[in-house]
Amino acid sequence: MKPVIGISCCMKPFGTYNTPNHAASDTYVRAVDLVVGGLPCLIPAMGERADVHAWLGLVDGLVLTGSRSNVEPARYGGPPHPEGTPEDPARDAVTLPLIRAALAEGVPLLAICRGMQELNVALGGTLDQRIQDLPGRMDHSTPSEQALSAVRIGKAHRVTIRPDSPLAAIVGAAHLAVNSLHNQGIARLAPGLRVEATAPDGTIEAVSVPAATGFALGVQWHPEYDFQTDAASRAIFEAFGKAARDRAAGRAARRPVVLAAE
């Protein structure tokens, strides 16, 4: 049985009339299909109308995607964004309660880029809105208009992984070269999260949830971009996939057996 993997969507305008659409990049769908071995299921950015517990009853794992939009500052008590900063309140209203419910129910969770920031906010942490403006920090962003894919999603810096951590066990290394496409980053780490990796400037690049009963990992970079060529990126999706398949198998084993009438 293929595990059903929920993939968080953004609300984005498309077409001539900027019609609102629920969208997730094909890179996540392909990673779920080709590496996780799962059935991708897009979770729409329905705002407050979303029934997160119903969604979690349908899925065996959850991927929180990256996005150009930033988490609304009101969600973590931060100052307003500068004018023109993209936000997605409809997504925030779905993903933040979805994260808390997924952790409570032991649903495997892989949070990527914005998804890791959502994980931190959902559990009570805060964000820096523009890391590049802080003293002594690197510019972790890549211009969205950069047309050269090799530059836009190529390796940008190294991260140092905490020894004996779950992430170290997954990737089998103490250091990784990663891509970097974000302005926001974790400021105050949420209670219940543990730092798994940091950038040279101290920016938190990966977190885990030690008390979680299921797989729960957040990474600030984008392993979905190069899982076909990068062993560490593939290993992250493989570890998540194993957890999702185990949950799917457990759910199947608990289903009641219906006997046909004679």
Residues 187-197: tens digit of each pLDDT: 999 999 999 99
Write out residues in the chain with pLDDT < 50, as ranges: none
Judge contact between 90 and 48, C-beta under 8 A. no
pTM of the model: 0.92
Q: What pLDDT does residue 127 have?
A: 96
Judge contact between 140 and 117, C-beta under 8 A. no
Q: What pLDDT does residue 256 have?
A: 61
Q: Residue 103's Cα: distance from chain center in Å?
A: 13
Q: What pLDDT does residue 146 have?
A: 56
Q: What pLDDT does residue 250 have?
A: 86
Q: What pLDDT does residue 139 have?
A: 80
Q: What pLDDT does residue 149 have?
A: 66
Going from the C-alpha of 181 to that of each of 20, 41, 69, 177, the distances in angstroms are 24, 25, 12, 14
Q: What pLDDT does residue 178 have?
A: 95
Q: What pLDDT does residue 259 have?
A: 55
* Residues designated catalytic: 113, 222, 224
Q: What pLDDT does residue 239 have?
A: 98
Q: What pLDDT does residue 143 have?
A: 60
